[in-house]
Amino acid sequence: MKFSTKELLEGIRSGNKRLIAKAITLVESKKSEHRLQAEELLKELMSFTGNSIRVGVTGVPGAGKSTFIENFGMLAIANGKKVAVLAIDPSSAINKGSILGDKTRMEELAKEENAFIRPSPSSGFLGGVANTTFETMMICEAAGYDYILIETVGVGQSEVLVADITDVFLFLKIIGGGDELQGIKRGIMEMVDIIFINKVDKENLHKAKNTRLELKRALDFIPPKEKDWKVPVLLGSALSNEGLNEVFEKIDEFITLKNKTNRLGEVRNQQAEKRFEYWVQEYILSEMKKNNSLEEAYLQHKKNASALVSNPSTEAKLFVDKFLSKN
Ligand SMILES: Nc1nc2c(ncn2[C@@H]2O[C@H](COP(=O)(O)OP(=O)(O)OP(=O)(O)O)[C@@H](O)[C@H]2O)c(=O)[nH]1
Ligand SMILES: [Mg+2]
């Protein structure tokens, strides 16, 4: 990294987008010399973080997440706010794709001085991709962004990853398209704070209202995630900006409630604990990789476990004993 920690820190604090991007690249790296500097930087940034509203946006592919984020972002900017857009795309390491790689989808927002758009990390970047959206978010907070909007790919574990780092979780639903696919039956409903039925127009308004009824009924069977918060089901169109003001207001209302009950801080504390656990694993794994015999032992014990030679727990214990004796 050709920039010193001080230069990066000053760049971030003064809102220099090029240096913000450099800092993000640094925290995404798994190389140990980069990690050292990343930790130094994050330590310096800590006191400037915590002041943004962290919003996760999920929904099936094509539900309109990027369109929503772009127009919501424009609305926030019109209200005097600064907006950062990030993406969680655990699949990108496999298919080398990036859901925000196609930046043209946020053409308008990308032109705004008060917006910062960061595509998902692609594989092979500075020695591998870590799950560092949280750390990226810290950098954006320290740079003074008021809203951090995180788009998920809407499949598999990405929702869990996003829910684990955000304050409010927004689910974009389209009419039809199969409830099962859209998460009604796979736990999304338990994680969601606000639902927005997207792509509603005059023609399908009636259908949209029926969908809203169904969703409300489904929500009645789910224990509330936040006390005193009834998940609102809003209708609108991300493309033509309809209903976005309501989402803006609901987010505000939700954050105010969570602040009042201290839930905002409480949840963030729990999230930080999870990040700690994540990094303990990351650092242990990276220590292991530095030592060939340990890595071999790890693979051997894993193989024994998978071949049912002995119990997985027995193999794990044998490996950890070796790990401790070598460290
Ligand atoms: N008619 C209509 N089309 C919309 C609306 N919102 C989004 N679209 C269109 O739906 C398509 C998909 O929108 P995106 O915003 O890319 O959807 P996405 O959820 O980000 O998709 P992925 O990132 O691929 O998962 C685009 O062609 C949008 O123009 C809407 O409110 N009404
Ligand atoms: Mg998208």
Each domain of the chain, given as residue ranges in start order, spans 1-48, 50-262, 271-325
What fold characterizes domain 50-262?
Rossmann fold (3.40.50)
Q: Which 3 state secondary structure label does DSSP give 141?
A: helix
- With 70 as the cut, is the pLDDT of residue 186 above it? no
CATH assignment, 1-48 = 1.20.5.170
Atom of ligand 1 nearest to the CA of 59: 19
Q: How far is the CA of 289 from the centre of ligand 2 (A)?
A: 35
pLDDT at 161 (0 to 100)? 85
Neighbours of 128 (CB within 10 A): 13
Chain segment 21-49, per-residue pLDDT in tens: 999 999 988 888 999 999 999 999 999 99
Atom of ligand 1 nearest to the CA of 153: 25
Indicate the average pLDDT of the chain: 88
Which-ligand-closest: CA of 177?
A: 1
Residue 100's pLDDT band, with cuts at 50, 70 and 90, is: very low
Residue 89's pLDDT band, with cuts at 50, 70 and 90, is: low
Mean pLDDT of 93-100: 45
SS3 sequence of 217-240 = HHHHCCCCCCCCCCCCEEECECCC
**Nearest residue CA, atom 2 of ligand 1?**
199
Ligand 1 neighbourhood includes 105 CB (under 6 angstroms): yes
Q: Which 3 state secondary structure label does DSSP give 22?
A: helix
Q: Which of 57, 60, 66, 235 to mutate to test the pocket of ligand 1 (most atoms within 8 A of CB)?
A: 66
Ligand 1 neighbourhood includes 250 CB (under 6 angstroms): no
What is the distance in angstroms between the CA of the first residue and the CA of the last residue of the chain?
29
Which-ligand-closest: CA of 172?
A: 1
Going edge to edge, which strands form the sheet with 147-152?
115-117, 83-88, 147-152, 53-58, 168-174, 194-198, 233-235
- With 90 as the cut, is the pLDDT of residue 301 above it? yes
pLDDT at 17 (0 to 100)? 97
Closest CA to 186 of 211, 208, 160, 162: 160
- With 70 as the cut, is the pLDDT of residue 284 above it? yes
Residues with Cβ within 8 Å of residue 182, at least 6 apart in sequence: 59, 60, 63, 173, 174, 188
